[in-house]
Amino acid sequence: MIDAVLHSYCVELKLEGIRLRRGEMKICRLVYMSERNTSARFSIKDIVQKSCQNNARVNVTGFLAFDGVYFIHALDGSRTAVTQIFNCIVCDRRHMNFYLISCQDANDRLFPKWPMGLLDGISADARDRLLN
């Protein structure tokens, strides 16, 4: 049993060595959930547009899902860039009640091509009632 654990640990270390030799740096992945602020009207398109510009500038990629009430957002990038962006996000009055799901190192990006992909799960009816 111990042998097996040690063996898999050594394999992990070797893989890690290969990854590092290839020059891949670990990235930071932060995932949070938040709730739309019902007293704020906003356009999800504007949020995505602005976020794509800002995120692309600092090589942050990720994915935002919105169902008309809750946001779930995953951000991948350098620790510094992700922290700076998250600091802005939590001060944004368009959403509230933040719940940090995870913040950890990762070897690969989940959505390498998207500065901010969007899963827009909001119905047309809710969009008309709630949002710009």
Ligand X SMILES: Cc1cc2nc3c(=O)[nH]c(=O)nc-3n(C[C@H](O)[C@H](O)[C@H](O)COP(=O)(O)O)c2cc1C
Residue ranges that bind ligand X, judged by CB under 6 A: 47, 50-51, 54-55, 64, 71, 73, 85, 88-89, 92, 94-95, 116
Is the Cβ of residue 27 or residue 64 nearer to ligand X in the bound state?
64
Q: Say if residues 77 and 60 touch (Cβ distance below 8 Å).
A: yes
Instruction: Using DSSP, state whether 26 is helix, strand or coil.
Output: coil
For the CB of residue 7, give the shortest distance to ligand X in the complex, in Å: 41
Is the Cβ of residue 35 or residue 105 nearer to ligand X in the bound state?
35
- Residue 103, both tokens: 């913040």
Is the Cβ of residue 19 or residue 37 nearer to ligand X in the bound state?
37
Distance CA 105, CA 12 (A): 15
For the CB of residue 72, give the shortest distance to ligand X in the complex, in Å: 9
Is the Cβ of residue 23 or residue 112 nearer to ligand X in the bound state?
112
- How far CA 89 is from CA of 57, 73, 103, 125, in Å, comes to 16, 10, 15, 27
For the CB of residue 92, give the shortest distance to ligand X in the complex, in Å: 3
Q: Say if residues 96 and 34 touch (Cβ distance below 8 Å).
A: yes
